[in-house]
Amino acid sequence: MKLLLTGAGGYTGRGLSEVLAAHHSVRGVDIVEKKTACQEFKVADISNYETCQKIIEGLDALVMCHMAPNPHGYKTPPMSFDINAKGTANLYHAAQEAGIKKVVLISSCGVLVEGKSNRDAQIGVGPYNYGKGLYTLTKIIQECIALDYFKAAQIATAVLRPGWIVYDGELVTKYGEKMERYYSSLLDPRDIGTAALAALALPDLGLESFNIGQHDYSEVNSTTTQARLKWTPTYRFESLPRVDDK
Ligand SMILES: NC(=O)c1ccc[n+]([C@@H]2O[C@H](COP(=O)([O-])OP(=O)(O)OC[C@H]3O[C@@H](n4cnc5c(N)ncnc54)[C@H](O)[C@@H]3O)[C@@H](O)[C@H]2O)c1
């Protein structure tokens, strides 16, 4: 399969590129030049529609892992909306025009309302965690866009909702903080990569959300995800002290 990976040079994108490029031909895209494992790399701004039309040419599926920089991209609306919302809509619309029918969207379990009753927040419907600021709002909008293009153009999307993304082994967050303890929400980007591979391989993928973590915890029902994708995380953060965070 020929894939697009947006945000390929980012913290998560770099791990995703390793896994995806080992199984598929991957065109990585980022607004800054970065070293990735993608077979092809383009510097491009996804907030420009014509650019999106060009970067998806000849591809079979899209993996969306772009995001506006945190924290400064979320202080006022323009950057977060241009990248997270407009960029995502641009890519879906260009996919519709090009006849591409499969997307993996990296969302966040931050869109979920905390608590057991909200484990199955429906894509584009919720219940959603409104009132938490521009990051969460634009992540919710991304899921709404996925719903819209599923209805309008039958584009199947696997919405992957990770919690806290950290490389096992490095144990340093994207903000440079050292991890001191284990959390159930921890996930290595390479495990998000294998979840994306599993979703892309589903012959009957529809519009589906996958809350992903080490195991079930609070709002994240990892068990149903693991059963549907036949996927389990490989990176278990075993060197970190365990805490009771079920
Ligand atoms: N980091 C976490 O703990 C975490 C947790 C949950 C979900 N996520 C999700 O994972 C995904 C990746 O997050 P990350 O933490 O790796 O972010 P990141 O900021 O490290 O990577 C995002 C990449 O997108 C690129 N980008 C920004 N604007 C662009 C544009 N206009 N055109 C093309 N590329 C552009 C950036 O240059 C960057 O390389 C996001 O969808 C985020 O919501 C992250």
At 76-115, the pLDDT tens digits run 999 999 999 999 999 999 999 999 999 999 999 999 988 7
Whole-number Å distance between alpha carbons of 167 and 232: 16
Neighbours of 217 (CB within 10 A): 17
pLDDT digits (tens, 9 = 90+) for 31-59: 999 999 999 999 999 999 999 999 999 99
- Give the pLDDT confidence score for residue 10 in this predicted structure: 98
Say if 241 falls within a structural domain: no
In terms of phi and psi (left: phi > 0; alpha: psi -120 to 50; beta: otherwise), the region of 154 is left
Residue 245 confidence (pLDDT) above 60 = no
246 burial class (0-12, 13-18, 19+ CB within 10 angstroms)? exposed
The SS3 call for residue 60 is coil
- What is the number of the ligand 1 atom nearest to the C-alpha of 12? 16
Say if 107 falls within a structural domain: yes
The rounded Å distance from CA 19 to ligand 1 centre is 17
Mean pLDDT of all residues in 147-170: 97
CA distances from 240 to 130, 150, 192, 243 (A): 32, 40, 20, 9
Look at ligand 1, atom 34, and give the residue with the nearest C-alpha: 30
Say if 145 falls within a structural domain: yes
The SS3 call for residue 25 is strand
Mean pLDDT of all residues in 9-34: 98
Neighbours of 215 (CB within 10 A): 13
How many domains does one find in the chain?
Answer: 1
Say if 80 falls within a structural domain: yes
Whole-number Å distance between alpha carbons of 196 and 104: 6
Residue 60 confidence (pLDDT) above 80 = yes
- What is the number of the ligand 1 atom nearest to the C-alpha of 109? 6
pLDDT band at 158 (very low <50, low <70, confident <90, very high): very high
Ligand 1 in contact with 11 (CB < 6 A)?
yes
Say if 104 falls within a structural domain: yes
Q: Give the distance from CA 95 to its chain's centroid.
A: 17
Ligand 1 in contact with 14 (CB < 6 A)?
no
Domain extent at residue 187: 2-229
Residue 246 confidence (pLDDT) above 60 = no
Residue 4 confidence (pLDDT) above 70 = yes
Percent of the chain with pLDDT over 70: 97
Residue 15 confidence (pLDDT) above 70 = yes
Residue position matching structure tokens 């519009």: 207
Say if 238 falls within a structural domain: no
- Give the pLDDT confidence score for residue 244 in this predicted structure: 61
Ligand 1 pocket, mutate which of 4, 12, 88 (most atoms under 8 A from CB): 12
Averaged pLDDT of the chain: 95
pLDDT digits (tens, 9 = 90+) for 202-220: 999 999 999 999 988 887 8
Ligand 1 in contact with 15 (CB < 6 A)?
no
Whole-number Å distance between alpha carbons of 150 and 145: 9
In CATH, what number is assigned to the domain containing residue 84?
Answer: 3.40.50.720
Supply the Cα-derived Rg of the chain in whole angstroms.
Answer: 17
Say if 126 falls within a structural domain: yes
Contact residues for 187 (Cβ-Cβ < 8 A; gap 6+): 162, 163, 164, 165, 166, 212, 213, 214, 233, 235
pLDDT digits (tens, 9 = 90+) for 185-199: 999 999 999 999 999
Say if 194 falls within a structural domain: yes
